[in-house]
Structure 1
Amino acid sequence: MEAIRVLIMDDHPIFRRGIRWILDSADDMVVVGEAENGQEAIELADRLSPDVVLVDINLPGMNGLEIARVIKRRDPRIRIVVLSVHDDDEQLFNAIKVGAAAYQTKNIAPEALMQVIREVAGGAYLINDTVMSKPHVAARVLNQFRELAATGEENSQLFAPLTSREIEILDCIARGMSNREIASQLSISGQTVKNHITSILSKLQVNDRTMAVIYAIQRGWIKMGGEKPPEGEGRAARRRGGATGSAAGD
């Protein structure tokens, strides 16, 4: 099995060297380069073709998210792990929009960082779990689904095939509702809910409910902005839990 090729992008030499020291201890990883600014990171990504790029989000000059966007546009195969000093919802939204596979704070444990790199290199989108662990963030995402669908804008292939009922069901999923709760909320049968979810997954070509919610933002198709749900809704969503489940759910 070939080693995972990692490029480190951070403007602090000590932090870069620390990450390199951590990754050099792993038998299945190799640090192919280090960059201290955006232009250098983009050039190294073009030349070295890393599997994973670790990108610091807070940089002077060219923002880390812009760097990630350019790298992903030039080579969609490269997986981006965004590192931030703070756990910030706006940064999380933007990390999804540029196609990042993971969003982590810099206080992550060395072993955990190595595991993140392994998983994203294997094709996982760990950023999904980060979003769905925050009910108000997930609900805000679905607000963008509804708003863009309502305007009839055709700047993506995502919304054209989705019906207004399917948008409603995605909204319910993001709020952590089970199929039974969705059926009650929309006054339809449980089987009808399952049929709609199956249709959504098929249209968006994703495998589960979580990916259906996150699919559009990962590709930068969802506009930023929108209101957070009332505090009561947020508490209710937290009690119900995140929008998880495989396929059409139960």
Structure 2
Amino acid sequence: MKILWVDDHEILCVALSEYVQTHASELSVTPIEVTPVFTLASALEEVSKTPPPDLVFLDLNLDGENRGTTTLEHFQAGNPSNVPVVICTGLAPGNDDEVEILRACMRDYSARGILLKGGAHKKMFIGLSRILGGELWIPEEVLMRFACSTQTPSPGGNQHHLGLSLREWDVARCIARGLSGKQIARELDVTAGHVRQVSCVIYDKLQVRNRVEAALKVSAELALGSGSNKGLS
């Protein structure tokens, strides 16, 4: 697997690249080759090569004028092979504006995941493993912030959202909030086994592979509902 790591903090970029290569056997079943680059221009040059890299880890603040979603927008515009892009960022999930930047990266510019530079080492390692295994990955604290602004219930509580039954929708909303299976079971007063069973049905109906993808899809539906409510008020 060929990975392109893009970050204008050269020491950090090289260190992260070396870390991934050193722990390649723990992170992926396939050999990993990481190329560090420090500018957006260099990154665009690399993804235009034949063959292109298999995966890109992209910092959002590059080259002065390339900051936030602008960086990803410019990168995707010059990404002819649609190489999957993971955001590796120092943005803080506690900041509302920065959370919206991360949300836009996932929603509008097809990012394949998010890694937080300031996150716990163990969580970042888990995220890397999941991403290299082909999964979409978002840290739990970011998922919970995504859900915070989408908790307003839509009118007509008996509507079936996304083709889910009322019970499935209750579980799906809990998934979007980042709750674990045990937490969902306690909140809804059901067994953990029931939550697992319903979750599998939800994944199948939403045509997603895991909790993260389900949470993103449900959060988007909740956001649409919140927007409708604002328009009615």
What's the TM-score, normalizing by structure 2? 0.59
Q: Note if 1:5 corresponds to 2:2.
A: yes
Picking from 102, 107, 121, the partner of 2:114 is: 102
Match of 1:171 in 2: 173
Moved more, 58-67 or 172-181: 172-181
Match of 1:215 in 2: 217
Compared CA separation, residues 32 and 213, structure 1 to 2 (3 A): same
CA displacement 1:167-215 (0-9 Å, x = unmatched): 444334445453464368xxxxx99988865543322023555542223
Compared CA separation, residues 205 and 85, structure 1 to 2 (3 A): closer
Picking from 63, 81, 84, the partner of 2:67 is: 63
Structure 1: how far apart are the matches of 2:4 and 2:38?
Answer: 8
Q: Note if 1:131 corresponds to 2:136.
A: no
SS in 2 for 1:102: strand
Amino acid in the other structure paired with 1:45: V
Structure 2: how far apart are the matches of 1:66 and 1:221?
Answer: 25
Amino acid in the other structure paired with 2:39: E
Shift in Å at residue 32 of structure 1? 3.2
Compared CA separation, residues 214 and 75, structure 1 to 2 (3 A): farther
Match of 2:84 in 1: 78
Shift in Å at residue 121 of structure 1? 1.4
Structure 2: how far apart are the matches of 1:33 and 1:148?
Answer: 50
Match of 1:155 in 2: none
Identity %: 19
SS in 2 for 1:127: coil
Alignment of 1:80-229 (within 5 A): 80-84=86-90, 86-87=92-93, 88=95, 89-97=99-107, 98-106=110-118, 109=121, 116-127=127-138, 129-132=140-143, 134=144, 137-143=146-152, 161-162=163-164, 166-175=168-177, 176=179, 178-179=184-185, 181-182=187-188, 199-215=201-217
Structure 1: how far apart are the matches of 2:37 and 2:196?
Answer: 48
Which gives a bigger RCO, structure 1 or 2 (Cα 8 Å, sep 6+)?
Answer: 1
Is 1:82–1:103's contact at 8 Å kept on the other side of the alignment? Answer: yes
Query: Which residues of structure 1 form unaligned runs of 5+?
Result: 153-158, 185-189, 228-250
Shift in Å at residue 10 of structure 1? 1.9
Is 1:120–1:126's contact at 8 Å kept on the other side of the alignment? Answer: yes
Is 1:5–1:31's contact at 8 Å kept on the other side of the alignment? Answer: yes
Shift in Å at residue 36 of structure 1? 0.6
Amino acid in the other structure paired with 1:104: L
Q: What's the C-alpha RMSD, in Å, of the aligned pairs? A: 4.6
SS in 1 for 2:66: coil
Is 2:4–2:34's contact at 8 Å kept on the other side of the alignment? Answer: yes
